[in-house]
Amino acid sequence: MLVLVAPGQGAQTPGFLTPWLELPGARDRVAAWSDAIGLDLAHYGTQADADEIRDTAVAQPLLVAAGLLSASQLGLAPTAFGAVAGHSVGEITAAAFAGVLGETDALSFVRTRGKAMAEAAAVTPTGMSAVLGGEPDVVVAHLEKLGLTPANINGAGQTVAAGTMEQLAALAEDKPEGSVKVVALKVAGAFHTHHMAPAVDVLEGAAKALTVADPVVAYVSNKDGRTVSTGAEVVARLVGQVANPVRWDLCMETFAELGVTGIIELCPGGTLTNLAKRALKGVPSVALKTPEDLDKAKALAAEHSA
């Protein structure tokens, strides 16, 4: 059984969209999306520097656009997969691929999400750091002692802490017992924490304008790793997700329960397949980083698709 996954914020790098825009029809498609949401996606994906694409209001729609573009170039129907999932903002990519949202609705929603989360992050200087290694229970207890939130419990020995810059500085000086290192992430706020509560209110309003359908393939949710069968519930979870932890560890446990035999990660791939290599040992995967990876992904799909 094949699973399609979509990465979250922090996966973007300067110029990563450049080779994708050289594919037939890609530049026109991205231009239409850009016009629809009032953001020059091609510019940010090809010419902008690391600081520009670190901006939450830019990074989030850019990531969803890249994921949808790479999915279209892969050319596989949703029903070729046994399940789909996304990490954080990647859940919107997954929802569009699963047929819950149309592409333009998905990009409009993520544009609103990015702006709202950027505004919430501007209230107090906050950020996120990855804690590598250590027993999850020990790491979580240590984070909570420092006033931090375990915002992403990613499995494979990775927990992401979120909070104020002062709290994160304290974490860098006082690592959890058994952890290897603490790495500051390239994000501009304490996402998936109470700091994002104002964004939830904005997204509740935006969700009312969406045209929603039920997913045509099993949709695995960040909230608890469970599959969600109705479009209304998917959207409700997308709204609440911004202020609640991402349980990617539970998503991967569900992949295993469903019988995953192959994983394809949409552009800009790498983060989620690396986690899977450690948590789902022996399951082959392909990360779509450039169009050169498409043939490998198609070969994997031919062998493992539903």
The pLDDT tens digits of the residues spanning 5-30 come to 999 998 999 999 999 999 999 999 99
Question: Which of the residue ranges 99-103, 118-122, 232-236 would you say has the lowest mean pLDDT?
Answer: 118-122
Tell me, what's the pLDDT at 88?
96
Q: Which two tokens stand for residue 118?
A: 């950027």
Indicate where the chain has its CATH 3.30.70.250 domain(s). 126-184
Q: For the chain, give the percent of residues with pLDDT over 90.
A: 96
Tell me the pairing of strands 158-164 and 126-133: antiparallel
Q: What whole-number distance in Å separates Cα of residue 202 and Cα of residue 27?
A: 31
**Cβ neighbours for 17, distance < 8 A, ≥ 6 positions apart:** 30, 41, 42, 44, 45, 46, 62, 65, 66, 69, 267
Q: Which two tokens stand for residue 194?
A: 């109470």
Q: What whole-number distance in Å separates Cα of residue 207 and Cα of residue 191?
A: 19
Tell me, what's the pLDDT at 103?
97
Task: Please say if 88 is a catalytic residue.
Answer: yes
- DSSP for 35-65 reads HHHT--HHHHHHT--HHHHHSHHHHHHHHHH
Q: Which two tokens stand for residue 56?
A: 């939450």
Q: For the chain, give the percent of residues with pLDDT over 70.
A: 100
Tell me, what's the pLDDT at 194?
93
Task: Please say if 108 is a catalytic residue.
Answer: no
Tell me, what's the pLDDT at 111?
98
Q: Which two tokens stand for residue 113?
A: 């999400």
Q: Give alpha helix (H) positions in the chain.
A: 26-37, 41-46, 50-54, 56-74, 90-97, 103-121, 136-145, 165-173, 197-207, 231-241, 248-258, 271-279, 294-304
Indicate where the chain has its CATH 3.40.366.10 domain(s). 2-121+193-304
The pLDDT tens digits of the residues spanning 245-263 come to 999 999 999 999 999 999 9
Tell me, what's the pLDDT at 306?
59
In CATH, 2-121+193-304 is 3.40.640.10? no
Instruction: Give the pLDDT band of residue 62 (cuts 50, 70, 90).
Output: very high
Among candidate residues 34, 70, 88, 108, the one labeled active-site is 88
| Mean pLDDT along residues 200-221 | 97
Among candidate residues 87, 192, 195, 304, the one labeled active-site is 192
Average pLDDT along the chain: 96
The pLDDT tens digits of the residues spanning 284-303 come to 999 999 999 999 999 999 99
| Mean pLDDT along residues 133-141 | 94
Protein fold of 126-184: Alpha-Beta Plaits (3.30.70)
Tell me, what's the pLDDT at 205?
96
